[in-house]
Every structure is written in structure tokens, then in C-alpha cells.
Chain A
Amino acid sequence: MNDFSNALSTAFALVTSLDRDLFEIVGLSLEISLTAVLVATIIGLPAGAALALSRFPGRRPLIIVLNALMGLPPVVVGLVIYLLLSRSGPLGSYGLLFTPTAMVIAQSVLVTPIIAALARQTVADLHEEYDEHLRAIGSGPLQRMATLLWDGRFRLLTAILAGFGRAIAEVGAVLIVGGNILHSTRVMTTTIALETSKGNLAIALGLGLILVTLAVSVNAAAMLLGETAHRRYG
């Protein structure tokens, strides 16, 4: 117990003293996860909207697969990306393994299904309500997509925040494809795992505190956003 309180006070000291190494790690975490979420949003929003609005054979199975992909185990994603990017893999020539780019790719793969699946649901619900009006005013397919994405903006933002929450907290995929290299690919979750196993509880706890704070704020933001939208738009 004493160990724990010692570690906790050191952790606080580290965080409040703005320790340089600590903040490098936090910075890289944010950079990688935000980039991954951006990529996932750019792919996931239109893909989800298109899936909601188009009709083609095999669409329903595809939606089921997409929803299932929301629960992809990060280590498996890490493993597959590892195999693709490793020297002998099909994308090995790019030399991306153990770089932040590889970590962005892995997290994008994890987050894109979340954003796409939630975007599909949001757009499909709104479409049911808006369809006749949009048809009556002669809205084209792209205009229709734009209208529905815009009017679903609050729910979509919630989806994006959920994606960010998953990316920033995930350890399996970034550990495998990033390699946890100091000053290069070390992020909050991988550092916590490593330092805990080395018995370095202070830095692990310090990062843990920051991570929890981030996760809680993101969730709170998502909730507030949902409530605000509900109050404003009914």
C-alpha cells in the first residue's frame, strides 16, 4: 500500500513538473491517435453514408460484417498489419514497421469500422425520416448524403469521439507494429505496460492518470454533445 502511495505522489510530481519524457510520450500518443481518427473519419463517414443510402446485393451481410468489425481484437489487427508491413510481407518494401506510421495504420484499421458503422446507423435513421422530403425537392444522391451527414453531425461527432477513445486506450496493436521504441514509437499504453513490468510504477501511474483523464473527458464531451443536440434539435 505504501508502495502505491509513494508511486502515486511521484506520479503526481512527474505530471505536475511537466516531465519532458512523459510529455513526449503523451504528445506522440495524441498525434498517432488523432491522425488515425482523422483517417478513419475521412474513410468511415462517406463509406457509412453510402452503405446507408445504396441498395445492392450483399448489402445486408456487409452491414453485419461491418458491425462485427467494431469489436476487432487490437492484437489481431496488430498481428495482421505486422505481417503486411514486415520485410517479407507484401508492403515490406516501404520500411514502415516500427514507425509511427505503422501505428497510425493499425489504429485506423481499428477505428474505421466503428465510425463507419455508427455513421451508417445515423444516416439510415435520418434517411427514413427525410427521404420523402428530399425526393420531393429533387435532391440528388450526393446532395442527399451531404444533407444527412450534416443533420446527423452531433451523433457523428459522438461516433468520432468513441473512435478516439478506442484508439488512445488501445495497447495490443501499437505494441506489435510500433515496437515501443524509446523516443520513437513509445506511447502511453505501451509505456504503461513496459514500465509496470519493470516495476517502475511511478511513471506508469503518471501516464495512467493522464490516460484516464483523457478518456473521461472524451466520454463526458460525447455525453454533453448528445444532450446539447437533443435539447436544441428535439
Chain B
Amino acid sequence: MSSMSQLDRPSKRGIPEGLWLRCPTCRATVFKKDVESRLNVCPECDHHFPVSARRRLDQLLDENSFEEWDATLKPMDPLGFVDDKPYAQRILDQQKKTGMNDAAVCGAGFIRGRGVVIGITDFAFMAGSMGAVVGEKLSRAAERATEQRRPLIFVSGSGGGARMQEGILSLMQMAKVSAALARYHAAGGLYVCILTHPTMGGVAASWAFQGDVTIAEPKAMIGFAGARTIKNTIRLELPDGFQTSEFLLKHGFVDRVVHRRDIRTEVSRLIDYCDIR
């Protein structure tokens, strides 16, 4: 949760915020509208900016095809967790800031006319971390995809993974979602997981790596342990490009690194290859 370094942070040096963005990769100052019209990708260098779950749905699905499920699920504070502010208060603040009840959005929709079940985690809500609501929504999505015999697409943008403020119960969400996905697989469904920046920890060690096909956006940070934890343990510098999409591709844990503009095409093509009806 501690090492999200390359987030969308517009420079303060004389650039009017709201209209312009500074790209963290090429450092170019780019017109925000240009970035948005290119699916939140830098027009200069193809840096993939973070995307909210709502925008991601617009980018991935056919127009007006999304039907949301379980939107009313809200988190609780089972441990009475308090750090510099109580978790119960943090939830309210995050809900106000994002307009979301929790970090996941799930439902049904169409990708180039192909019916799918889709689940997305949004980094904006507590780093997209997985507590009981995210676990429940993804599990229900997998269960409904099993019943409806539809391809299942999850998109992870999930930072540190399990949500520390829900303690051991957040760790158990890994088992819960995995069990639902195991049943989905056993029933013969196609599960495609799309990994975006960042996908770490308990999310990486569960549903992010349980797909039939695993796709990653370019240069996303993906891994189990945080870079700082690893550095503190081994006391060595980490190699360039460590824990990036390309690193995982090279080591055999990602099937394809795909530019954001091509994900729709790629996913619909995969669905066609795996359609046995």
C-alpha cells in the first residue's frame, strides 16, 4: 500500500490544474482533453494514466450496455479499526470523495456485441483495496457468470491488495472470491483478467492470477510484495523494470501486454476463440 509512486500528480509549477496534466513518464505537459479522448493515455509517450471504474466501463463496453449489480452494498467496520482516523469515518470520506459505496463496480454488459459479466476495482477508493464488499461483489459476479454461462472479465487496479482496516476478514476475501472462481472454471467458463497499474498483494495473490488468460496494460506495477519490503529484506537494489507488466510477460506470468485502445478488440477475439456453442 505504500509504494504507489507514479500516480496522476499534476505539477504545481504554474500549470493550471484541471485543464492540463503533466505526464509522469515523459514529463510533457499535455492537454487533459487530449488525454481523455485517447482513453487516458499520454499522446506523447503512451503512458497509461489511471482510469476510474466508470470511465473504464465506458471504454470497454458497448455504449449504454452496462447493467450494474449490487450497487447498494456498503462496507462495515467489523474490527472498530482506528488509525489516524476511524475506519468508519474513512469510509464516509472516501464515499463522499468518489461517489462510490466501495472500490468495486460489477454488472453485465456487452463487448462488441458479446455478452459478458464484468467486475472492476477502482484505485480511487482506498487504493482499490479488497474488503468484504469488494469480495462479495466479485464473488456474486462470478456466481452469476456461472449461472448465465457468460464470459467473465475482471479488471484489477488494486494497489496493496487486501484492505488492512478489515483485518483478517479482508484476507479471507481472497479465499471467498477464489472459491467462486474455482466453481466458475469447473463449470467451463472463460475468465479473462486484465491487470492495470497497480496490482499487488492480496489481489495479485488471488483473483488477479486465476484467469484463463491474463492481460496486462503496459508498464503497470504488478507483484506480490511491495518494492520497499523487498528492499528492506534483501538489502539490494532492485533491477530496472522489476515488477512491471513486461517483467511478468518475460517471466511467463502474463499472456499479453496490451495497449488500452486494443483491449476491447483483444477480449472479444478471445471470447470468440473460447466459444464452444
A binds B: no
Binding site for A on B (CB under 8 A): none
